[in-house]
Amino acid sequence: MNTETKRVLVTGGAVRIGRAVCLAFAEAGARIVIHCHNSVIPAEKLLAALPGSGHQLQTCDLNSAAETADFLSRCGQIDILINNAAVYRRGDFPDESDSEVSRQMQVNFLAPLSLMKQFAAQELENGCIINFLDQEVAKATETLNSYAVSKRALRDATLIAARRLAPKIRVNAVAPGPVLPPAGLKGPGMRKILGKVPLGGQIPLPDITAACLFLVQNDSLTGQIIYVDGGQHLIQAGT
């Protein structure tokens, strides 16, 4: 797919990886719809900084099933959907409240699933979806928490949708490793994680955005998960 003039919705597009993805696709000639919830000010600054024209900003609380249910109708036709928005909390299921479990499952899995259904309902002749996963989906984990479960559910939905939405819509995923440290993992915590990455370093944002562009621009790819993680998914838990 040629990205020139295509409309790309990036959920969680105002900050971190989402921001980099918005910039990369705008530089490739696409028209960007930046989604945000609380990060309105960073989103407005990004909107003003994007190269090209025809970009817009849309807000939506993805933790609200009702608000998410008609989000695409407010965005207009979308050619490329990038489900990047996520919430992350460390811990095991016994330590998580029901509201924390519900929030991570809703934002990380149920909202992307709803957006994929809305995207498919547009009846495009040529569409593309990219779901952001986590390298952890490739291996067994020592912890059982709603974040891990939500990302595994989205992985499975990606593979099922790739089959069922073909040939008009391609569905792929990117599974990053340590790109940007989550809150509380800067310094020693981040160094400990990087020590278990085979390639030994933090993942540059351009490597993530290059993978996204590759998945969109190669019309033969669907049902693929690209692990942009320095080989981290090869290391099993506890090793």
For 90-102, give the secondary structure using H, E and C: CCCHHHCCHHHHH
Kindly provide the b/e burial profile for residues 122-147, where b requires at least 16 CB atoms within 10 angstroms of the residue's own CB. Answer: bebeebbbbbbbbbbbbeeeeeebbb
Q: Categorize the per-residue pLDDT at 142 as very low, low, confident or very high, splitting at 50, 70 and 90.
A: low
Q: Categorize the per-residue pLDDT at 186 as very low, low, confident or very high, splitting at 50, 70 and 90.
A: low
Please give the structure tokens belonging to residue 65.
């099933």
Q: What is the mean pLDDT of residues 186-206?
A: 80
pTM above 0.75, yes or no: yes
144 pLDDT exceeds 60? yes
Q: Categorize the per-residue pLDDT at 76 as very low, low, confident or very high, splitting at 50, 70 and 90.
A: very high
* Structural domains of the chain, ranges and CATH numbers in brackets: 7-228 (3.40.50.720)
What is the arrangement of strands in the sheet containing 127-132, beginning at the earlier edge strand? 56-59, 31-36, 7-10, 80-83, 127-132, 169-176, 225-228
DSSP 11-22: TTTTSHHHHHHH
pLDDT at 185: 57
Residues 6+ apart with CB under 8 A from 159: 223
> What's the chain's average pLDDT?
93
pLDDT digits (tens, 9 = 90+) for 160-174: 999 999 999 999 999
Kindly tell me the burial class for residue 97, based on how many C-beta atoms sit within 10 Å of its own C-beta (0-12, 13-18, 19 or more).
Answer: exposed
pLDDT digits (tens, 9 = 90+) for 198-237: 998 899 999 999 999 999 999 999 999 999 999 999 987 6
pLDDT digits (tens, 9 = 90+) for 5-44: 999 999 999 999 999 999 999 999 999 999 999 999 999 9
